[in-house]
């Protein structure tokens, strides 16, 4: 296995701290498994009202995903 698939959900709402809530739902060995998890999760309270918030990302194992520094904005 060289890749994994991450299922994320982002819920945007001005009432939330920083305006959004990001959840990592799970990590899967195939896109199909991630899609099945999305279908299951999409039936749960809260998620079913915000289906547009799902995203599946493909990540290569043993590879840096963030390759630059960061800055704090005040």
- What pLDDT, on a 0 to 100 scale, did the predictor assign at position 12? 82
Q: Is 67 inside any structural domain?
A: no
Q: Is 43 inside any structural domain?
A: yes
Q: Is 12 inside any structural domain?
A: yes
Q: What is the pTM of this model?
A: 0.84
pLDDT, tens digit, 9 for 90 and up, residues 5-60: 999 999 887 776 777 888 999 999 999 999 999 999 999 999 999 999 999 999 99
- DSSP assignment string, 50-68: -GGGEEEEEEETT--S--S
Distance CA 51, CA 39 (A): 10
Sign, Cα dihedral of 20, 23, 29, 32? negative
Residue 64 reports pLDDT greater than 80: yes
- What pLDDT, on a 0 to 100 scale, did the predictor assign at position 14? 75
Give the pLDDT band (50/70/90) at residue 73.
confident
How many distinct structural domains can be found in the chain? 1
Give the range of the structural domain holding residue 9, as residue numbers without chain letter: 3-60
Runs of H (alpha helix) within the chain: 31-41
């Amino acid at each position: 296995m060289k890749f994994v698939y991450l299922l994320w959900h982002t819920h945007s709402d001005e009432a939330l701290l920083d305006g959004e809530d990001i959840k990592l739902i799970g990590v899967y060995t195939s896109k199909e498994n991630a899609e099945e998890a999305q279908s299951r999760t999409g039936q749960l309270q809260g998620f079913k009202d915000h289906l547009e918030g799902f995203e599946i990302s493909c990540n290569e194992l043993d590879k840096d995903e963030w390759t630059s520094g960061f800055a704090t904005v005040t």
